[in-house]
């Protein structure tokens, strides 16, 4: 989202080509999944990658597409099913929002062949890939703006909104901005694209169709699985100059892409950061982001979380979905919000992964990467702390580390990452008590249980005001998630009449592996400070830390 004053954000492109054997295997697997679940988004686990910061494959310190491909095994083993990439289209800004062109690839990320290879590798693993699109603004080097500025006779004369007939005064973007300050010291001129001009609509329809079916052969194994729509609005920026976009722009664009492949999905970043019901109904999106729940989780207030869980269910129409998250590229890292407290990081992990919806994991969240937005630098550098290089190894500057911001300013010298701080895959992967191991355990449980993927959800009562209890159920399968949101140990009883009969007797904590004895009033559990348990009947857990 473009939502805050010194912030800039995501958009991208992707295409692919698969060999015949891979096509058959991928298409068959996808067909089975589609028929079994009716494309249930809740069966997915989405991993949001900030491309520039994820993995460098060629030694230039810049994350790239080949680097992502090299680490698909790590993501697959973690439990990820779907990738959401931040923009890879050309842009003068490091985050690749505000495009120089809606077409093409930033050369620092690779080329079209690298895109082809990545799509092939993603689909060969039975995974999906989503592209982030931000097509409503243009930079000075975008042909739509460059060729029309001061030239009303240009072929792109109506592609940009202007305030005057001479095309000398472009309409500003959000917050009335006409230029964006870069961390490099440059100021990048920007303007608003005229989304209601037929030529623009046709261009974006053509873009989406080409990404859905690159070869135009009706075989979608080589196409992307959907799009994230950055900063989606019905009335762009509230200016009144681009009203009714849901019906007059997005509806025909969605219809054209869905006519090519009905299985693709559109994820709206709702501009108000609310429940997103209007985007799911009038807007026609398939999923929105659970911003309200994210804010509630970071409050660690039991009543707020319970209220928003119930509100999210109420505001999500049937057949639509919510992407659950505790952080993303536009907000402070959860690990920093909770002061690096591993216990509270595990609480956030459990609520992100085990509540109803589609979990979204922002790269590095699973190892507890830290970062807080700055307000000191008055440029897009303010967000670099939330976008530091993914920590593969204990040393920040080891090969593969995407430290593209090295020696460019205080965001490097004052960075959050440091050698040997315990926040890396290398330092956590063999530690059963690490955050990474905890995420793997939660995601494995979610993958193995229908109640945790697509089951119903209901907050149930306990005798402890700081303990959140959530019942997940699907048919005869049920579990209760217990989360102690306080820094004091508690003994909690889940009311017998609040849970199915199978959970009123002897149950097991599927996370820690311990048995919970039956009690007259219902399951009675001792929870340590910020403890998490998942109670279910009939089997033992995998073992490990609470």
Report how far residue 330's alpha carbon sits from residue 272's, in angstroms, rounded to the nearest whole number. 14
Is residue 528 within 8 Å of residue 504, measured between CB atoms?
no
Tokens of 306: 């319970």
Average pLDDT over residues 439-459: 96
* pLDDT tens-digit readout, 384-431: 999 999 999 999 999 999 999 999 999 999 999 999 999 999 999 999
CA atoms within 13 A on the CB side of 545: 19
| pLDDT for position 220 | 83
Q: Does the pLDDT value for residue 22 go beyond 50?
A: no
SS (H, E, C) 330-360: CCCCHHHHCCCCHHHHHHHHHHHHHCCCEEE
Q: Which strands make up the sheet holding 515-516, listed edge to edge?
A: 456-460, 467-474, 477-484, 532-536, 507-509, 515-516
| pLDDT for position 26 | 36
The ranges assigned to domains in the chain are: 455-536
| pLDDT for position 105 | 87
Tokens of 258: 């869905």
85 has which bridge partners? Answer: 49, 131
| pLDDT for position 538 | 64
> What's the pTM value of the predicted model, to 2 decimals?
0.91
Per-residue pLDDT band at 6 (split at 50, 70, 90): very low
Q: Does the pLDDT value for residue 466 go beyond 80?
A: yes
What percentage of the chain exceeds 70 in pLDDT?
A: 91
Report how far residue 201's alpha carbon sits from residue 490's, in angstroms, rounded to the nearest whole number. 58
Tokens of 403: 């430290």
Q: Residue 463: exposed, middle, or buried by beta-carbon count in 10 A (0-12, 13-18, 19+)? A: middle
Is residue 45 within 8 Å of residue 83, measured between CB atoms?
no
| pLDDT for position 153 | 96
Report how far residue 310's alpha carbon sits from residue 528's, in angstroms, rounded to the nearest whole number. 26
Percent helix, strand, coil in the chain, to 5, is 35, 20, 50
The mean pLDDT value of the chain amounts to 90
Report how far residue 144's alpha carbon sits from residue 411's, in angstroms, rounded to the nearest whole number. 33
Average pLDDT over residues 204-233: 91
492 has which bridge partners? Answer: 525
Is residue 124 within 8 Å of residue 77, measured between CB atoms?
no
Per-residue pLDDT band at 520 (split at 50, 70, 90): confident
* pLDDT tens-digit readout, 142-174: 999 999 999 999 999 999 999 999 999 999 999
| pLDDT for position 544 | 39
| pLDDT for position 218 | 87
Per-residue pLDDT band at 25 (split at 50, 70, 90): very low
SS (H, E, C) 522-533: CCEEEECCCCEE
* pLDDT tens-digit readout, 207-217: 999 998 988 88
| pLDDT for position 449 | 96
Average pLDDT over residues 86-96: 95
Tokens of 290: 């659970």
* pLDDT tens-digit readout, 112-132: 788 888 988 999 999 999 999
| pLDDT for position 64 | 98
> CATH homologous superfamily for 455-536?
Golgi alpha-mannosidase II (2.60.40.1180)
Location of structure tokens 């970071």: 298
162 has which bridge partners? Answer: 170
Average pLDDT over residues 205-232: 91
β-pairing, 187-192 with 137-139? antiparallel
Per-residue pLDDT band at 498 (split at 50, 70, 90): confident
Tokens of 160: 């940009």
Report how far residue 173's alpha carbon sits from residue 185's, in angstroms, rounded to the nearest whole number. 20
Of 102-116, 273-287, 528-542, which range is least confident? 528-542
Tokens of 72: 């698909």
| pLDDT for position 496 | 83
Per-residue pLDDT band at 495 (split at 50, 70, 90): confident
Report how far residue 334's alpha carbon sits from residue 347's, in angstroms, rounded to the nearest whole number. 11
Is residue 15 within 8 Å of residue 223, measured between CB atoms?
yes
Report how far residue 96's alpha carbon sits from residue 87's, in angstroms, rounded to the nearest whole number. 5
**CA-CA distances (angstroms) from residue 350 to 108, 182, 322, 359, 484?**
36, 37, 16, 10, 11
* pLDDT tens-digit readout, 42-83: 899 999 999 999 999 999 999 999 999 999 999 999 999 999
User: Which residues 6+ apart lie within 8 Å of 212 measured at CB?
Assistant: 220, 223, 224, 257, 260, 261, 264
| pLDDT for position 521 | 73
Handedness of CA 390, 391, 392, 398 (dihedral sign): positive
Average pLDDT over residues 495-515: 86
Average pLDDT over residues 435-453: 97
| pLDDT for position 221 | 82
Q: Does the pLDDT value for residue 369 go beyond 90?
A: yes
Q: Please name which of 149, 153, 250 lies closest in space to residue 190, comparing C-alpha atoms.
A: 149
Per-residue pLDDT band at 2 (split at 50, 70, 90): very low
């Amino acid at each position: 989202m473009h939502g805050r004053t010194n912030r800039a954000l995501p958009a991208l492109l992707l295409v692919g080509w698969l060999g015949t054997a891979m096509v058959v295997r991928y298409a068959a697997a996808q067909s089975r999944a589609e028929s079994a679940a009716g494309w249930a988004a809740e069966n997915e686990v989405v991993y949001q990658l900030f491309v520039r910061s994820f993995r460098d494959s060629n030694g230039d310190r810049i994350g790239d597409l080949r680097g992502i491909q090299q680490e698909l095994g790590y993501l697959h083993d973690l439990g990820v099913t779907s990738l959401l990439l931040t923009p890879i289209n050309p842009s003068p800004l490091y985050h690749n929002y505000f495009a120089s062109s809606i077409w093409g690839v930033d050369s620092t990320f690779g080329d079209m062949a690298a895109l082809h290879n990545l799509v092939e590798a993603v689909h060969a693993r039975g995974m999906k890939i989503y592209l982030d699109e931000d097509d409503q603004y243009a930079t000075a080097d975008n042909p739509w703006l460059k060729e029309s500025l001061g030239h009303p006779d240009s072929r792109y004369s109506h592609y940009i909104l202007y305030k005057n007939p001479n095309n000398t005064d472009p309409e500003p973007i959000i917050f009335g901005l006409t230029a964006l300050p870069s961390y490099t010291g440059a100021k990048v001129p920007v303007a608003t694209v005229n989304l209601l001009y037929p030529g623009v609509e046709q261009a974006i329809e053509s873009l989406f169709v080409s990404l859905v079916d690159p070869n135009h052969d009706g075989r979608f194994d080589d196409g992307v699985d959907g799009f994230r729509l950055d900063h989606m609005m019905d009335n762009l920026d509230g200016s009144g100059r681009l009203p009714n976009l849901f019906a007059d722009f997005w509806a025909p664009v969605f219809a054209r892409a869905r006519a090519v492949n009905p299985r693709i999905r559109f994820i709206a970043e709702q501009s108000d950061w609310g429940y997103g019901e209007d985007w799911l109904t009038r807007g026609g999106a398939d999923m929105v982001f659970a911003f309200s729940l994210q804010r509630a989780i970071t409050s660690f207030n039991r009543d707020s979380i319970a209220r928003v869980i119930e509100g999210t269910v109420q505001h999500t129409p049937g057949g639509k979905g919510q992407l659950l998250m505790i952080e993303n590229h536009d907000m402070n890292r959860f690990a920093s919000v909770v002061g690096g407290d591993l216990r509270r990081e595990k609480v956030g992990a459990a609520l992100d992964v085990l509540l109803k919806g589609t979990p979204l994991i922002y790269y590095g969240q699973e190892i507890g990467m830290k970062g807080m937005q700055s307000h000191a630098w008055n440029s897009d550098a303010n967000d670099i702390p939330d976008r530091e290089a993914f920590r593969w190894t204990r040393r920040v500057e080891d090969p593969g580390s995407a430290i593209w911001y090295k020696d460019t300013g205080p965001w490097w010298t004052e960075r959050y990452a440091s050698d040997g701080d315990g926040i890396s895959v290398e330092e956590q992967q063999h530690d059963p008590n690490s955050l990474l191991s905890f995420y793997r355990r939660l995601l494995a449980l979610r993958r193995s249980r229908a109640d945790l993927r697509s089951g119903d959800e209901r907050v149930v009562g306990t005798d402890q005001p700081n303990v959140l209890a959530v019942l997940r159920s699907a048919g005869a399968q049920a579990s209760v998630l217990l989360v102690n949101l306080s820094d004091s140990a508690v003994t909690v009883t889940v009311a017998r009449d609040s849970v199915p009969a199978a959970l009123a007797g002897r149950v097991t904590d599927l996370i820690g592996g311990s048995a919970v004895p039956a009690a007259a009033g219902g399951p009675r559990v001792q929870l340590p400070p910020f403890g998490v348990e998942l109670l279910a009947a009939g089997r033992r857990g995998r073992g490990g830390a609470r």
